[in-house]
A = this chain, B = another copy of it.
């Protein structure tokens, strides 16, 4: 089953939170994304059954497969947010809108775009945002 935009968002947030705090619980994801814990629970179930995450007793973590997607999403997130900020968009708006742009492109197209725009591949350090 193909990953949807919302699934990618969940994976990305698990990635960011795990870098930030190590162990990630559903409630952390819920707060980060601004959804209810019920929504997270549902999403985790389908992400787990598709092999993107594994749920322990009190944590959730990415599988290899999930990590790959998550890193890619985070990379794109940083790219688009940086691009918009450079264009003069406020950090807050750039972050919101970048969140959507990151799901629009295939990997191939994204790489081509990044190559053309000459922004290097460095992702922003993960911090509270």
Contact = CB atoms under 8 A, between A and B. Distances in A.
Interface of A: 83-84, 86-89, 93-94, 97, 100-101, 103-106, 108-109, 112-113, 115-117
Contacts of A105: 97, 101
16 contacts: A83-B113, A84-B109, A84-B112, A87-B115, A88-B115, A88-B116, A89-B108, A89-B109, A89-B112, A97-B104, A97-B105, A97-B109, A100-B103, A100-B104, A101-B104, A101-B105
Most buried by B among A94, A104, A106: A104
A111 to B, nearest CB: 9
Nearest to A100: B104
Contact of A113 (B84, B104, B112): B84
Given A84-B112, A88-B115, A89-B113, 20 more contacts: A84-B113, A86-B116, A87-B112, A87-B115, A87-B116, A87-B117, A88-B112, A88-B116, A89-B108, A89-B109, A89-B112, A93-B106, A94-B109, A97-B105, A97-B106, A97-B109, A100-B104, A101-B104, A104-B104, A117-B117
